[in-house]
Amino acid sequence: MAAVCFLFPAALCLLSGALTFPLNQENKRSTACGYQSCHPTNANMLNVHLVPHTHDDVGWLKTVDQYFYGARNDIQHAGVQYILDSVVDQLLKNPDRRFIYVETAFFYRWWKQQSSSMQETVKQLVNEGRLEFVNGGWCMSDEATTHYSAVIDQMTMGLRFLNETFGPCGRPRVAWHIDPFGHAREHASMFAQFIILMFILLFFFKSRQTKKKTILVLYCSIVPLSPCCCQRKPWPWLSITTLCPGQRNNTWPTTTPEDWLKAGTTVRYFSST
């Protein structure tokens, strides 16, 4: 499992003040999780979607314990328990705020240390869609060197805990993979079966894809889950020049994301910043 949890360097990024501006008072208190809890958009304005988040390596420069408790900050300044403490505190101070969390391994440990009243408070935040889990695995797994069985195991551990603890509102809808090595087709298939959409910040190839203006691709599994159409933009520089199985031309599909999912396809959005 250690190989699954190995990640490339990533800074802890906590955007604590991202959504502090006043919004429509009628929408301040959400009564549903998922997309129903999203703030309303305005068709006559530029709608900017901010995603306050934190990425916490489940072991990298420091051990898992050192990351969680904030020890050995001379190596790297990071204390995950304090991130979770401050996130809950800030969410309670402003109903407009939203936050996503990824690494279930750290959240599980933090959760077990909380009082019953705090656990009920967090459940309320989850049920209102103000705290949302993405990916859902025990960690953000490597894609380059791990065997698919290990990835399935760690995803099962995390998703089972979220389901047993939070029910339907704890179910991730996005496979947030912002910092792993490589891009495995097995992950495209697994995420299509586990979760709805996948967003990724491609660490190694981001600058090149941004320059080529090809930061949106459809990512296909080895074998489609159904005959539905499946498409990706060719990447000649990665020696990937063929289209997905069953495709005869280089056009984007006109089908829906639900159709892509049936084909074992994952939509990946690359950061352009």
User: What's the chain's length in residues?
Assistant: 273
- b/e per residue 161-194 (b: at least 16 CB within 10 A): bbeebbeebbbbebbbbbbbbebbbbbbbbbbeb
- As given in the structure block, the two tokens for residue 139 are 């960690």
- Check 56, 57, 96, 179 and give the catalytic one: 179
Which residues are within 8 A (CB) of 126 and not within 5 positions of it... i.e. 6 or more apart? Answer: 33, 132, 133, 166, 169, 170
- 85 is a catalytic site residue: no
- The Cα-based distances of 1 to 75, 149, 193, 194, 196 in angstroms read 24, 10, 21, 19, 25
All residues at 6 or more sequence positions from 58 whose CB lies less than 8 Å from its CB, including other chains: 5, 7, 64, 67, 103, 105, 106, 138, 139, 140
Radius of gyration of the chain (CA): 19
Other beta carbons within 10 angstroms of residue 93's beta carbon come to 10
Catalytic residue numbers read 179
